[in-house]
Structure 1
């Protein structure tokens, strides 16, 4: 009797174990494998570069419409929207129309992907694939603004100024977060056995480059005392460098020279870029202004500037971690590796920023050929951006000290109680 019971129990255990194995197999068949996740992950990472290329081509199209559209495409416009001579579809208005099309495309991509969290969701496949359909959507998005009335495009131009300012702010936060990451990974650390020599050497290079930049700007852009505005810009930048270095070396902050050296170079670059944006007829420049057609150096500098801005937009778009409140979230195998919605939102704001660069933040007058971001408005936007960058960086230095709660030891608390009890 006991033998039969044991046999029955063994058969029951065998059936239960086989059932559990079957359930595990069904779950494994339903879950994505590591190979599938790896393939989808590579596909989504490649998609970033396709979107960057699309963004680059669209902005080249905006430049072409601005400089050569009216002469190369004299008849290809809608008269009710562009006017008899087509003036409302070329030059400044043409840039705004192409920018609006670029904004529409990436904003639609943002709306359709912002809730994506897993690689195998439908929105993730839409982000990484369906390129033929997205090409049609892109063409429609670019063409539709050329049928809109000029008043609507003017309203978009005003909105684009705000969007461009938001883009600059997000890019600034991303740059400062990157500088902090650089400092944390390169700074001397006894536990990780990192020597201070490399960090000291790197920070020295950045400070030497910053000082050389200050001296060069004095020589090239402030050759006489009458250039008071440029002297003010450069001198204030030098003061910012000294203040940032002093704050980072303060005993309560103790952040070292590396982060302040990198930030010093970035601030000097912003100052140089701002002074370079001054109008070509400015007398406080040793450089001779180029003609409207531009020589090979002007063309090369123009293309490098476009490429650099596209790369800055791309790097900010994939840097969603800098804008997360929780940065310690563990990524699962089938989680997306960057935030699709944030990526497309940055590119839609970047479309507005590029439009402002091409028209020099001026909705009334058209910019010169082969020029980008030239004019007094562009100069002041960059100067304010520089001051804002230095302010945010210095606040990040002192914020831990300011927010640190004051610790009162036991003796002080007893003394305070005794003092309060005295008559």
Structure 2
């Protein structure tokens, strides 16, 4: 079959690459064209556009780049018609993908959505469009199945969280080898994960780096996103106690004692590596003002949302400052607090539904595409 896959950010590139591997394994005649990143490119298929050209964060930022976004949507529609896929697979990225779902449905193309838009957080009225435009939905968070089926009478497939596979399948690296490879000191490591988009990195990293001259007994390491060059990060690095490592986030987390993480998928990844963390988020003033009026959630991190309680501290907008960050970092380096966090992390992993999400999803996509 012919598959057209759209992923618009780094996390989608990761999950898309694993899904593509499973599709190729299950369908020897698979032809895949995709929007994604380097990880998906490594698997095979043909890239239509890289996600680095798509990612705009926040309401104000989207408005400023609306012309580029509309051009991308127009190109995508033409590209889909030219490729003539048997099935369109959308991975998260709802602002863009929901528009493409509507278009594809009208063109008679089967629409499968892997990793649901977070309509349980905001824009719940999108359920009407999902029911209208999406043929099959594959959800990865345990509470999403009940949300869709019990609250909205829309059947979905809970496939488990793909991060469990990504983490368990990785090639492990020892602490000694990691230190030698990246020329790190013998100090315990604190990982800094400022995000993958330039806009969020600019807002997050400068505050995160202020911790380096307050915790001299630790080595601070910035996890560089694969979509950004070192030169971009270099402008923020002034402390000798800071190192930069690009595109090795999992290796870094596997040897870290603590982490400061920008809200997003990375918060869950950090928890699955059993690393005590502080979750941070800051956007433009206008984006935050709009967002807090539209989003009705008690927490912003996936860790706390899944566990339905505060497992990790969240510092949002004005709370994300040097004083608060220093105080919270002291807390997660204290052994008594760490023990409590570790126990919650183990419970979190149990809730995520086990391994094999990509393989389950690929098998269901093929089965449902053949029978529908």
Q: Which has the higher strand share?
A: 2
TM-score interval for Structure 1 and Structure 2 normalised by the shorter chain: under 0.3
* TM-score (norm: length of structure 2): 0.26
Q: Which has the higher helix share?
A: 1
* Structure whose alpha-carbon radius of gyration is higher: 1
* TM-score (norm: length of structure 1): 0.24
